A and B are shown apart, each in its own frame.
Chain A
Amino acid sequence: MSIVRFENIHKHYQMGAEQVRALDGVSTTFKKGSFWAIMGHSGSGKSTMMNILGCLDRPTSGQYFLEDKDVSVLNDNSLSDIRLKYIGFVFQSFNLIPQLTVQKNIELPLYYLGWQADKSAQRAKELAAKVGLETRLNHRPAELSGGQMQRVAVARSLAAQPHIILADEPTGNLDSVTGKQIMELLAELNAEGTTIIMVTHESDIAAYAKNRLHMKDGKIENIE
């Protein structure tokens, strides 16, 4: 069963007089429960693909079905809702909110879902325990190491029980040991049934994924 289906997705930008075709007719399908690595050099269109996958951006043309729902036609408000309920993000630079504690950062999606304070606190504690940070709940991001921050980000991405986790170079800012730990955590989540789509340019990181998709010049080069 497919969770994501791209049908002839184009994304064009106007850069001065030149038109850049960041995505040039991409059609692909990702199955539920799969673990994909999207690979390619910079400028290959993998970031644009990630933005569209994450409903942060809309394609210029083509259709994007998320669980058979055409999200390429939705407005900003509905896209926010899709991001909240379907998608969890893990970024290269962690993107935690510096003034919030670990617990509040994990709770953030639940806050926008309108959960009760005590219920979401409970969930944040469970998730912190899952990523091994139950003792750091009241710390602020600045007091954590890079690996710990990325764990918080993973816990946050899981809070709203998303259907897909999108990881954009999740190990890019980490040393190889902590990077490996994060990848093991993601692999573990995938083993529990979460669909994971990851963007990376490192082949040893991509090796954790079950499938790999290579991008070049806005087109799919090959799939393995």
Chain B
Amino acid sequence: MHQSRFVRNILLGIENLLLHKLRSFLTMLGVVFGVGSVVAMLAVGEGASKEAMMQIQKLGSNNIIINSIKSLEDDSANTKNARISIYGLTYFDHDRINDTFPHVRKVAPAKLIRKESRVGAQTLELRIVGTTDEWFELVPRQILAGRVFGEKDVQDFANVAVLTEFGARKLLATKNTIGQPIRIGGDSFVVVGIIKSEEGQAGNLQIPDQQVDAYIPLSTIRKCFGDLFMKTAAGSRIREIVELHQIIVQVDAIEDVESTAAGIERMLQNFHKKKDYEISVPLALLKQAEATKRTFNIVLGSIASISLLVGGIGIMNIMLASVTERTREIGIRRAIGAKRKQIIIQFLIETVVLSTLGGVVGLAVGIGIPCIITYFSDMPTVITLGSILLPLLISVGIGIIFGLYPAVNAAKVDPIIALRHE
């Protein structure tokens, strides 16, 4: 019985709202746009952060990336030979990381050099990364043609080269180039494969694909070119010895990432006099990104809730007018025997019906806008269950909060005066 009365109250509310279709519709618009903007903003925010997270995840949440950096305090004073700066990760670091830490599954080193190279008639300076076969497992890339080099190539100091899409484009290499000779520095190599390049990586933590033209085995680089790197620039010669530019470490389980990273940090501190390395943990970045996302959502949410507030005030305004207009009706109901509470409920239900209806329409608008955005631009948008439920809840809440004052006003009406009201 009680429930049927509740349903009748709602039906009565809808009937009363339908008496003034245009007014109800206009009143509703405030909530429609408020909820619409909340849903749309959440979807855009969610989409943006999801994209950032996907990029970080591409780096591998199980991975730790260590880069060589030229230390600020580094220079002449600390090095034996003032003309040569020696810094960065070493082959020993690589081996020690590989041997010491129980949770380390794979370690891939990278050494970046620039060498004059020639394929057919093309002569260019190529950016070459020397690495091991593990690299291709930790940084998986689609093979466009041929193959990547394996463990045996590394052991055999094989003169093989894998071109990236970028490098291949520069050298005008095609599938037919596979098996062709390529001259790098003074040595002759064979092109064995071409791999796809990925677009920008989050924060360029990893040696970015755009900066690499070819991969060759690390062992071969050491045999052929050594570790000294020379560059003539602006009249002065730069001479550097950097054994490894990057080490990517894969840990076997996510829970061990942070402890292993801390262990590596301690170990490197012991063996490096200067801080000429930098440890990045994508997992930590991921966590940070999540925190950023939360802040972002709160900011967007608060901006959008201002429009909800405006919508709520609009409803309150109209309901106050409606109460005045219906003073006589309230008086009649009170004279017949309606309690104050019942008058409050009647008006409250009307407001809640109005705002909830606005919320539902607003939800449709809010889902529609991101779909249009995604359709016309590349911006990804994501609608979560939370971003649907929250605005709906809020719109019901707005009905209650902004409906309460007019409803209480209605109940305060003195029936004797109300019955005389014209």
Residues of A bordering B, CB below 8 Å: 51, 54, 56-57, 76-77, 80-81, 83-85, 87, 89, 91, 95-99, 108-109, 111-114, 116-117, 156, 160
Give min CB distance, A156 to chain B, whole Å.
8
Q: Mark B119-148, 1 if CB is under 8 A from A, else 0.
A: 000000000000000000000000000000
Asked whether any CB of chain A lies closer than 8 Å to the CB of B298, the reply is no
Asked whether any CB of chain A lies closer than 8 Å to the CB of B415, the reply is yes
Asked whether any CB of chain A lies closer than 8 Å to the CB of B50, the reply is no
The docked-state distance in angstroms from the alpha carbon of A97 to that of B336 is 12
The docked-state distance in angstroms from the alpha carbon of A214 to that of B217 is 120
| Cβ contact within 8 Å between A81 and B332 | no
With CB as the reference atom, state the residue of chain B lying closest to A76: B340
Q: Which of B16, B331, B332, B334 is within 8 Å of A80, CB to CB? A: B334
| Cβ contact within 8 Å between B335 and A112 | no
22 contacts between A and B (CB under 8 A): A54-B335, A56-B416, A76-B340, A80-B337, A80-B338, A81-B339, A84-B336, A87-B337, A89-B335, A89-B336, A95-B335, A95-B419, A97-B329, A98-B329, A108-B333, A109-B337, A111-B5, A112-B336, A112-B337, A112-B339, A116-B4, A117-B4
Asked whether any CB of chain A lies closer than 8 Å to the CB of B15, the reply is yes
Asked whether any CB of chain A lies closer than 8 Å to the CB of B8, the reply is yes
Assess A114 versus B335: contact at CB under 8 Å? Given A56-B415, A91-B419, A97-B329: no
Q: Mark B321-332, 1 if CB is under 8 A from A, else 0.
A: 000000011011
Q: Which residues of chain B are within 8 angstroms of A113 by Cβ–Cβ distance? A: 337
Nearest first, the 8 closest Cβ-Cβ pairs linking A and B are A84-B337, A83-B337, A80-B339, A95-B332, A109-B336, A56-B416, A112-B337, A112-B338
Give min CB distance, A80 to chain B, whole Å.
4
Secondary structure of the B side of the interface? helix
The docked-state distance in angstroms from the alpha carbon of A5 to that of B67 is 99
Asked whether any CB of chain A lies closer than 8 Å to the CB of B19, the reply is yes
Asked whether any CB of chain A lies closer than 8 Å to the CB of B98, the reply is no
Asked whether any CB of chain A lies closer than 8 Å to the CB of B1, the reply is yes
Q: Which of B1, B15, B337, B415 is within 8 Å of A81, CB to CB? A: B337
In this complex, how many residues of chain B approach chain A with their Cβ under 8 Å: the count is 24
Q: Which residues of chain B are within 8 angstroms of A108 by Cβ–Cβ distance? A: 333, 336
Assess A77 versus B340: contact at CB under 8 Å? Given A56-B335, A116-B1, A117-B4: yes
With CB as the reference atom, state the residue of chain A lying closest to B330: A97
Q: Which of A57, A96, A112, A160 has the most CB of B within 10 A?
A: A112
| Cβ contact within 8 Å between A99 and B328 | no
Give min CB distance, B244 to chain A, whole Å.
83
Q: Mark B404-422, 1 if CB is under 8 A from A, else 0.
A: 0000000000011001000
Q: Which residues of chain A are within 8 angstroms of B335 by Cβ–Cβ distance? A: 54, 56, 83, 89, 95
Asked whether any CB of chain A lies closer than 8 Å to the CB of B342, the reply is yes
Q: Mark B18-45, 1 if CB is under 8 A from A, else 0.
A: 0100000000000000000000000000
Q: Which residues of chain B are within 8 angstroms of A160 by Cβ–Cβ distance? A: 337
With CB as the reference atom, state the residue of chain B lying closest to A50: B416
Assess A97 versus B332: contact at CB under 8 Å? Given A56-B415, A91-B419: yes
With CB as the reference atom, state the residue of chain B lying closest to A94: B332
Give min CB distance, B150 to chain A, whole Å.
81
Known: A76-B339, A84-B336, A84-B338. 5 other contacts (CB 8 A): A56-B416, A84-B337, A95-B332, A109-B336, A160-B337
The docked-state distance in angstroms from the alpha carbon of A117 to that of B341 is 21
The docked-state distance in angstroms from the alpha carbon of A156 to that of B335 is 12
Give min CB distance, B341 to chain A, whole Å.
8
Give min CB distance, A202 to chain B, whole Å.
20
Q: Which of B1, B336, B341 has the most CB of A within 10 A?
A: B336
Q: Which residues of chain B are within 8 angstroms of A56 by Cβ–Cβ distance? A: 335, 415-416
| Cβ contact within 8 Å between A51 and B19 | no
Give min CB distance, B119 to chain A, whole Å.
87
Q: Which residues of chain B are within 8 angstroms of A54 by Cβ–Cβ distance? A: 335
Give min CB distance, B294 to chain A, whole Å.
48
The docked-state distance in angstroms from the alpha carbon of A83 to that of B332 is 12
Q: Mark B52-86, 1 if CB is under 8 A from A, else 0.
A: 00000000000000000000000000000000000
The docked-state distance in angstroms from the alpha carbon of A114 to that of B415 is 21
